[in-house]
Amino acid sequence: RKIIQLQANANYHNVAMGQGQDVVAMLKLDLGHKEGHWVMLQNIHLMPGWCVELEKRLDAFAAENSHPVFRLFLSADPSTGIPIGILERSIKLTNEPPQGLSANLRRSFALFSKDDFEERDSRIKAIIFGLCHFHSLMIERKKFGPLGYNMKYPFSSGDLRDSASVLYNYLEGSTSVKLPWEDLRYIFGEIMYGGHIVDDWDREMCKRYLHYFMQDDLLDEQEMVPYAEGKMSWKSPVPGPHEKYLEHIEAMPPESPLFFGMHPNAEIGFRTVQCRRLFGTLQSLQPRGGPGEAGGGGGGAEASSAGQAEELCGEILDEVRDVRFQTEEASRTLGDEEKGPYQFVLLQECDCMNGLVREMVRGLGELQLGFRGELTMSEQMEQLADALHLETLPTWWVKLGFPSTRPLRSWLVNLKERCAQLEDWITELLTIPKVVDLAKLFSPQSFLTAIKQVYCQQNQQVELDKLQVFTEVTKRDVKQVDTAAREGAFVTGTYLEGARWDLNANSLEDSKPKEMFMRMPVINCKAGLQLEREDKNVYICPTYCVPTRSGYFVFAAQLRTKQPPAKWVLAGVALILDIGYNQ
C-alpha cells in the first residue's frame, strides 16, 4: 500500500454490494482496469445473479490485458451462488475463529492494543475482559449444535469491537459511581449481538449470559463458570495491567462444557454427531459399481445394491399396503354436535397418515415394476431406490410425513406405532385415549390447541388467544393411568435433554453421566389464562418434535426447579418428542 500510495476514492475503491450497487461496482472495475486502481467488493454473495456478469467482465479484462497494477479483492460468506470461474482465478483466504474457548478468548482480547487498554480505568478494563469472555462463549457455543443454538449466527470480531466502542462512549463522560448495567446489557444483548439473533429461545440464552456476567461482581473477582456448583472454578482477574490479563487467560482450566453452563454430557453429544456425520458421508461416497470398474467387480456391487433395495421395497410394501383409515365413514357416524376439537384432530391425523401411506404404496409399486423391467426407471424412482439402499428417508416421504431424524428401518417401526395409536383412538371416536402419545402425532400443536378449545367451550367467556397450556408432571407412567384426566389430557412421549427429572423431588436436576435423554413420566396438559408474572421456581421449557429443534417448536412447558431457571436456559434444556430411537 505504501509503495503505490493508495488513497481512498482516488486509486482505491471500496464498494459494499447490495441493491443498486452493481452499477457502481462496474464503473469502479472499468476505472481500475484502465487506470491501475485497486477495487474491493464486499459481500458479493448477496448478489449471486450479478456474479455471473462479474465473471464475464473479468474474462473481458483478461482478453484486453488489464493495467499491471490493477487488483480486485472480493469478500463473501460461503455460498453456492459464486461462479466456479471466479473461484478458480482467485487466491482464496479464509478467516475463521480458532477452535477452542481459550484460543477464542486469546484472539478476542488481542483486538485491544496494550497502549489503548492501559489508558482505560479499572472498571472499563474489567468489563472489556467480561465482554471478551462473553464473545468467546457465543462464538464457541455453536459447536454443540442444537443444544447450543437453534440457528447459526454470524457473530464476528466486529460485534465485540463495536460493543467496546459503545462502552467507551457510554462510560468515559459519565461521573456516576453506579454503572448502568441494565443499559449495557440491553445494548449488548438486544442490539450488538441480539441484532443477529432471530430465535426467541436463543435470544433468551444471550440475555441470561449477560445477566450473569454484566454485574458489579465482575469488577472484583467474579466466577466465570456459571452455575458450576464447585465442579470447576475460574474467576475474573482483579483489574490490573495488560500483562496480568494475558497471564490469567493462559492459566485458564482445560475446556469443558461447564464453561458454557452445560452438563459435561454435552461433549458426548456433539462428538457423537460429528462421528455420525463423518460415517454418513463415507457411506454416501461408497462406489455404486459399474461394468467399467477395474477387476470387473462393479457389476456385482451394482446388482447387490439393487437387490437390497428390491428386497426392502417388497418388505415395506407388504407392511403398508393395507393401511387405510376410513375417515369419511367415521365422520358420517358422528353428528354435528358430537364433532368436537379432539375429533377434528383425530380425523386430521388419519388424513395425514392416509396421504403418506398412499404415496408410499404408489412409489414402491412403481419401483417394483421398474425392478422387473416392466416400467422405465425414472429419476424419481432411482432416487427412491438409492434411499432404500442407504436406508434413508425418500424425499416425498419426508415432505408428506412427520418430523423425524430416524433411519429408515427405525422410522418404519415408528410408523407402525403411530398407526396403532390411531387405530385405538378411531374405535372410540367420542373420547380420547387415557394417555395420548404426543410424539406419535403428525401435528402435536393441533392436539394442544384442542385442549384450549375444549376449555373455551366449558368456559364460554374466555377468549382462545388469552389461554396457554400448563403442564403438571405426574409421578406415574402410562401403565399406571387408569382413567382419563379430569382437566385437559394426559400425554406421554416426551424426553428431557440437558437435564433429568427427579421423581422424588418433583423437579429438574443435573443429568447423570452419559445419560443424554431421560423419558418423562406422564404429563397432565391443562389450559388456563396466561400468567402475567413468571414463577421463579418454574423453568419455561421449550418443547420440540425432534432433536434438531430449529423449525419444530411445539409449545412451552412448565417444569418445577429448585435451581435458578437461568441455569437450565444456559444448559439448553428442552423436551424432545422423538429422540430418533426407541429407548
Q: Which residues pair with 71 in a beta bridge?
A: 38
As a three-state string, the secondary structure of 16-65 is ECCCCHHHHHHHHHHHHHHHCCEEEEECHHHCHHHHHHHHHHHHHHHHHC
Look at residues 225, 229, 223 and name the one whose alpha carbon lies nearest to residue 254: 225
Which of the listed CATH numbers 1.10.287.130, 1.20.1270.280, 3.90.550.50, 2.40.128.260 matches domain 314-431?
1.20.1270.280
Q: How many other CB atoms are found less than 10 A from the CB of residue 93?
A: 7
Burial 531-569 (b: 16+ CB within 10 A, else e): eeeeeeebbebbbbbbbebbebbbbbbbbbbebbbbbbb
* CATH number at 458-582: 3.10.490.20
* DSSP result, 458-516: HSTTS-GGGEEEEEEE-S--GGG--S--SSSEEEE--EEESSEEETTTTEEEPPPTT--
Please state, in angstroms and rounded to a whole number, the distance separating the CA atoms of residues 305 and 297.
Answer: 13
Burial 253-271 (b: 16+ CB within 10 A, else e): eebbbbbbbbbebbbebbe
Please state, in angstroms and rounded to a whole number, the distance separating the CA atoms of residues 524 and 436.
Answer: 10
- pLDDT number for residue 576: 96
The Cα-based distances of 222 to 107, 186, 293 in angstroms read 21, 21, 65
Q: Which residues pair with 157 in a beta bridge?
A: none
* CATH number at 12-89: 3.40.50.300
- pLDDT number for residue 3: 60
Look at residues 562, 439, 435 and name the one whose alpha carbon lies nearest to residue 502: 562
* DSSP result, 205-238: HHHHHHHHHSSGGGGS--BSSTT-TTS---BPPP
- pLDDT number for residue 300: 53
Please state, in angstroms and rounded to a whole number, the distance separating the CA atoms of residues 299 and 311.
Answer: 18
As given in the structure block, the three cell numbers for residue 337 are 354436535
> Radius of gyration (Cα) for the chain, nearest Å?
30
As a three-state string, the secondary structure of 230-267 is CCCCCECCCCCCHHHHHHHHHCCCCCCHHHHCCCCHHH
CATH 1.10.8.720 fits 101-262, yes or no: yes
Question: Residues with Cβ < 8 Å from 492, sequence gap 6 or more?
Answer: 435, 436, 437, 438, 439, 477, 478, 520, 522, 523
The domains of the chain are located at 12-89, 101-262, 314-431, 458-582
Please state, in angstroms and rounded to a whole number, the distance separating the CA atoms of residues 398 and 551.
Answer: 14
Q: Which residues pair with 497 in a beta bridge?
A: 517, 574
Please state, in angstroms and rounded to a whole number, the distance separating the CA atoms of residues 350 and 327.
Answer: 7
Largest Cα–Cα distance in the chain?
Answer: 89
- The CA-to-CA distance between both ends of the chain, in Å, stands at 63
DSSP code of residue 431: S
Q: Please, are residues 38 and 73 in contact by the beta-carbon 8 Å criterion? A: yes
As given in the structure block, the three cell numbers for residue 349 are 391425523
As given in the structure block, the three cell numbers for residue 252 are 485458564
Backbone dihedral angles phi then psi of residue 99, each to the nearest 5 degrees: -85, 135
Per-residue pLDDT of the chain (583 residues; tens, 9 = 90+): 456 677 787 889 999 998 889 999 999 999 999 998 999 999 999 899 999 999 999 999 988 888 888 999 999 988 888 999 898 889 988 877 678 899 999 999 999 999 999 988 888 999 999 999 999 999 999 999 899 999 989 898 899 999 999 999 888 766 677 888 999 999 999 999 999 999 999 999 999 999 999 999 998 889 999 998 889 999 999 888 999 999 999 999 999 999 999 999 999 988 888 898 888 888 777 775 543 344 444 455 555 778 888 889 999 999 998 899 988 888 888 877 778 899 999 999 999 999 999 999 999 999 999 988 888 888 889 999 988 988 889 999 999 999 999 999 999 999 999 999 999 999 888 888 999 999 999 999 999 999 999 999 888 788 888 899 999 999 999 999 989 899 999 999 999 999 999 999 999 999 999 999 999 999 999 999 988 777 889 999 999 999 999 889 999 999 999 999 999 999 999 999 999 876 5
